[in-house]
Amino acid sequence: MLKTAICDLFEIKHPIIQGGMAHVGTAELVSAVSNAGGLGIIGSGFYEPDWVRQQIHLTRQQTSKPFGINIQLASPFAKQVIEVALEEQVAIISTGAGNPEPYIPRFKQAGMKVMPVVNSVTLAKQLERAGADAIVAEGTESGGHVGETTTMVLVPQVVDSVRIPVIAAGGIGDGRGLAAALALGAKGIQMGTRFVCSTESIAHPRYKQKILEAHNSSTVVTRQILGFPQRSLQNKLTDQFQELEKAGLSKEELELFDRGRMYLGLIEGDIEDGSLLAGQIAGLIREIKPVKVIIEEIVAEAETIITSLKNFYRED
């Protein structure tokens, strides 16, 4: 069976991580992924500390397996959520949208494993020096906040630059993606968009359906001006956002326009005026399936591919 350093580090069966996702990374999805042998991660997003604590408790009621929590460093509640994670002794910390360096010593003192998400080689090296246990190298194909480098280009460069295990994220949705990530030197994968379209995810059915209908160029990146470029499915909101950016609205005005849009799209299912975060891999996703099936199919497909690659060798 496919086993990597990530399986040992996080004490999980399969080298598959469900990326912490704002609004969607709730106890339902997290516990399903961890129960299926992957690593589920609670997405704390911009939620208040009490909500995060409740999600930790709910997850513990539904699984005895390891799980993690994603700290959105841009959240106004980030510092308080960090305190909750420390008090609750969540075993694994993932961080997004920023540099977690100042917080790493406290996580390490508390015996937690730290796995920051990065989109540059420089930040990966800096966080290894700061004590990170693993690095998620996330390419621009990803859903959510993105950098500029593709997964194919970023992952091997991060692998060559650090000694700790690297996890590939962005544009992975099946066993071919897992096999490719391992070939690039990663020790596992992190997926977001694929898990949005799982039976257990609380994402609104209309949002899931939009992902199922997507093709390879259905996503766009907006919000560069706010300092957090974000990839989502193109809709009325992204068109309006691009027009307002061109019209030169101030950062404050755009922030106001953007407020609440993610919840509106992901949870309330407003597919035109809400934000529908998704990666380019949406074009590959055709079915909503239970988490366990998604994970087992990906592992089986990757194992078959890895074994069959030797067929490319010829005697002559």
Nearer to ligand FMN, 249 or 301 (CB): 301
Report the nearest approach of ligand FMN to the CB of residue 117 (Å).
Answer: 5
Neighbours of 233 (CB within 10 A): 24
**Residue 253 Cβ, how far from ligand FMN at the closest point, in Å?**
24
In the chain, at which residue ranges do the beta strands (DSSP E only) sit?
16-18, 40-43, 67-72, 92-96, 113-118, 135-138, 144-145, 166-169, 188-191, 219-222, 230-233
Q: Counting runs of H as helices and runs of E as strands, what totals does the chain give? A: 14, 11
What is the closest distance, in whole angstroms, from the C-beta atom of residue 314 to ligand FMN in the complex? Answer: 35
CB of 281 to ligand FMN, least distance (A): 5
In the complex with ligand FMN, the residue whose CB is nearer, 25 or 315, is 25
Contact indicator for 87, 49 with CB cutoff of 8 Å: no
CB of 68 to ligand FMN, least distance (A): 11
Least Å from the CB of residue 46 to ligand FMN: 8
If the CB atoms of residues 159 and 298 are measured against ligand FMN, the closer one turns out to be 298
Contact at 8 Å (CB) between 141 and 279? yes
For every residue of 81-116, DSSP letters joined together read HHHHHHHTT-SEEEEESS--GGGHHHHHHTT-EEEE
Which residues contact ligand FMN (rule: CB under 6 A)?
Answer: 19-22, 24, 43, 45, 70, 72, 96, 117, 138, 141-144, 169-172, 190-194, 196, 266, 277-279, 281
Phi first, then psi: give them for residue 77, nearest 5 degrees. Answer: -100, 10
Burial of 296 (0-12, 13-18, 19+ CB in 10 A): middle
Task: Calculate the alpha carbon distances from 216 to 232, 233, 256, 270 in Å.
Answer: 12, 11, 30, 22
The residue (of 79 and 309) whose beta carbon lies closer to ligand FMN is: 79
For ligand FMN, give the closer residue by CB, 159 or 178: 178
The C-alpha atoms of residue 144 and residue 275 are separated, in whole angstroms, by: 10
CB closer to ligand FMN, 51 vs 249? 51
Q: Please, which residue, 164 or 277, has the CB nearer to ligand FMN?
A: 277
Q: Tokens standing for 76?
A: 């106004």
Supply 243's token pair.
């027009």
Smallest CA-to-CA distance from 14 within 37, 31, 34 is with 37
Closest separation between CB of residue 194 and ligand FMN, Å? 6
CB 312, min distance to ligand FMN, A: 27
Compare residues 156 and 249 and give the one whose CB is closer to ligand FMN.
Answer: 156
Going by their DSSP bridges, the two strands 135-138 and 144-145 should be labelled as unpaired
